[in-house]
Amino acid sequence: MTPEALILTSDFELSHMVRVAVERFGITAGVALGASDALQHLERNKFDLLIVDCSDLDQGCAALRKMRLSRTHRSAVSIAIVGDRGHTKYVSDSGANFVVSHVNYEVEIMATLRSAYGLVLRERGRYNRFPSTSTVNIRLGALVADGRIRNISQGGLCISGIDSTMQGHVQLRFALEEGNIPISAGGRVAWQRDGLVGVEFVGMTKTSRSELEAWLAEQFEIQTKVRPKITLTTSNREENLIPIESARTAAIPNSGEIRPIVTAIIRGGPVRARCSGCQATITFGNTISAPLEQERKLRDAFVAHLRERHEDELEAASVNFPEVSSTKQS
């Protein structure tokens, strides 16, 4: 149920930097070197996020348009990386939801992913079924019956407790949670067996659709617990790159209860973070640098803060932190 992304670019450095940024958000990423390769991936898999290098404008935009023609990916979140800001409208018209400048993509991709993250979760939630115990009222001609929702997705729901044989189009009315806005929808009976009825949604008001999508996104986030976080692993490897597996499994004290929360990124000025445990403000660096370097500085500063202000919590959690590499203060 982890969100998945496809990066389309033949630029090795760009693909590496973007992949590292994407995976920091808990999103699995794959890379396609060309449009034909990307289309083959899209035919075989479901991706929630598409990142397309539009440095070659015609080829990149052609790939975006073909992606949008795919029934499975027509609503996937897409980010275009352009060489010229003047092409923003053109790539947007081709299907891009967000546009990033190639000149400054290392900084812009992280900010864009933060903005797009909720939409990515919502897209992933569309294709997952989530359990429910809500009551649903179903109408088919003169027949009116109440059933119980077993599970629900963006495309339809499974209902139990209906004894009558049902075929054709039906009208549904249900609330996903007690006190929520009731959802009214038109549906088509797709199957019926073993006391269960599968109904495919065929029509829904904009308000009902928004209510359903918000609930599905919330359920997806709760079940998968995919929330962006900055780990406390430090590394002295070349270019300070963090191995992906280490980043995923690095421990945070008390299962993540104490962590840095970035509160300000000021161009040309300091980056500030707040400790979720004591609410202290942590300022590090005096310039905006590459994302990898910037995150390394935050990890180092936050580990130092934990040692100074939360020594008891560290000991209680029995977490062993590597020595913090000394950094030159400018």
pLDDT per position as a tens digit, 280-309: 777 665 544 555 556 667 777 777 887 787
Residue 121 binned pLDDT confidence (cut-offs 50, 70, 90): confident
Domains and CATH numbers, the chain: 4-126 (3.40.50.2300), 130-224 (2.40.10.220), 238-317 (no CATH)
Which of 72-86, 192-206, 240-254, 262-276 is the least confident region? Answer: 240-254
What are the tokens at 55? 């440095």
Decide which of 257 and 300 is more confident.
300
Residues 72-101, mean pLDDT to the nearest whole number: 90
Give residue 223's pLDDT. Answer: 66
Residue 54 binned pLDDT confidence (cut-offs 50, 70, 90): very high
What are the tokens at 28? 């699995």
What is the average pLDDT value for the chain, to the nearest integer? 76
Give residue 124's pLDDT. Answer: 74
End-to-end CA distance of the chain: 44
- Alpha carbon distance 293, 239 (integer Å): 8
* Residues contacting residue 13 through CB under 8 Å, at least 6 positions apart: none
Rama region for 264: left / alpha / beta (φ>0; ψ in -120 to 50; rest)? beta
Residues 235-251, mean pLDDT to the nearest whole number: 30
Q: Are 12 and 234 in contact (CB under 8 A)?
A: no
- What are the angstrom distances between the C-alpha of 154 and each of 28, 65, 113, 128, 147? 22, 24, 23, 8, 19
Give residue 323's pLDDT. Answer: 34
Residues 209-214, mean pLDDT to the nearest whole number: 84
